[in-house]
Amino acid sequence: MFGVLDAIDARDRDRACAVSDVAALGVDQPRASRLVLRAKEEGWITRRTDPSDARRTLLSLTEEGQEQVNRAHRFRQEVFARVMEEWPDADRTEFTRLITAFVNSLAEVATDAG
């Protein structure tokens, strides 16, 4: 479920998010639609018709949805910090470089596949 919120959060910053963008998480369109419906029922997202294409639905985080995303991000950061607290600075720096490269490449592959 948080993958859906993360996808919407990432898209909200640069462009609108649609159900097809959620499907790029590696789930089929019906599963993406069910995840979006559940997030809407939880009050975490809103849906609206795309003004440029009435067949397309755009998704946005609600205030509560944004708080869920922020809470999940803080939790992940705390876990990473605890795991790496005894790592040498050079190892943390290298890990940061590698995971950033991985996430960027993953995003490119997901975009190409969508």
Confidence check: pLDDT of 72 > 90? yes
Average of pLDDT values for 26-38?
83
Domain ranges of the chain: 2-83
Question: What are φ and ψ of residue 60, in 5° steps?
Answer: -140, 150
The pLDDT of residue 86 = 96
Q: Which CATH number fits domain 2-83: 2.40.50.100, 1.10.10.10, 1.10.357.140, 1.10.630.10?
A: 1.10.10.10
The pLDDT of residue 12 = 54
Closest CA to 45 of 28, 13, 67: 67
Encode pLDDT of 41-67 as tens digits.
999 999 988 888 888 888 999 999 999
